[in-house]
Structure 1
Amino acid sequence: MTTPERVARSYIAASNRNDQQAMVDLFHDDAEWIPISPIEPRRGKPAIAERYLNEVKAMNAPIIEDVYVADSQRCVVEFVVAHPERGHVPIVDVFDVDHEGRITRLAVYRR
């Protein structure tokens, strides 16, 4: 398993535990987070933490049917969110990970 895949799996596992602090801890200090529009992108771990801990936590839903494709620098995860109001929502996360195993960029897309 590549480092990016290990990091992505840790992130998904933390999300399923509703542990946003563990998710934030995976980011590099100067990381970029690009969520689904209309949510504005964030740069830097403090800005990402603020968003995750104050807003993402409240709308967290279980991730199911996750599939990982990775190389030495990036992992793409296709998954479904089992949202209580919207049903099954297909998502793709693209994790860029540095040599220390920190997320430098996370882009989120609807499938």
Structure 2
Amino acid sequence: MTETIRHYFDAFNAGDTEAMLACLSDDVAHHVNEGEIRRGKALFADFCAHMTRCYREDLTDIVIFEAAAGLRAAAEYVVNGTYLATDEGLPVARNQTYRLPAGSFFDLDHEGRITRVTTYYNLADWMAQVAA
């Protein structure tokens, strides 16, 4: 099932939300680093639209791990980004760049669709980088 995860990250780097959505189950649970769990593709799409407005990001150095007969996966990567528009509750955006290690954890169903995405990064590190 690592091909699903690879496709998900390729779609992310291409800015192709529709291709990302195609990797997800209809009832996907999206656990973001800060905030509430979003359930379903519609809320995931809303999140992606918000992120596209506020950030331009490219993921590099992606390493994907698979477990539980392909039903669980994890990935670590580096987020290379530009802060484009001020996000509510965060510092003012001035096209600051950042480089941030991050990781994601996934559950997949037997058809290879992602049923859970959990993403972690160090928010304090990001804040320090965009404040500089």
Q: Could you tell me the TM-score, scaled by structure 1's length?
A: 0.87
Give the Cα separation in 1 of the matches to 2:18 and 2:56. 13
Structure 1 segment 56-95 matched on structure 2, within 5 A: 56-58=51-53, 59-71=55-67, 72-84=70-82, 85-95=96-106
Match of 1:104? Answer: 115
Q: Percent identity?
A: 30
Question: Who wins on radius of gyration, i.e. which is larger?
Answer: 2
Match of 2:17? Answer: 20
Alignment counterpart, residue 50 of structure 2, candidates 48, 55, 65:
55
Which deviates more, 23-32 or 84-93? 84-93
SS of the equivalent of 1:101 reads coil
Root-mean-square deviation (CA, aligned residues, Å) is 1.4
Give the Cα separation in 2 of the matches to 1:89 and 1:95. 20
Give the Cα separation in 2 of the matches to 1:49 and 1:25. 11
Q: Does 1:30 align with 2:27?
A: yes
Q: Could you tell me the TM-score, scaled by structure 2's length?
A: 0.74
Give the Cα separation in 2 of the matches to 1:40 and 1:33. 9
Runs of 4+ in structure 1 displaced over 6 angstroms? none
SS of the equivalent of 2:3 reads helix
- In structure 1, the gaps of 5 or more residues are none
Question: More relative contact order in 1 or in 2 (CA 8 Å, sep 6+)?
Answer: 1
The number of residue pairs the alignment matches comes to 106
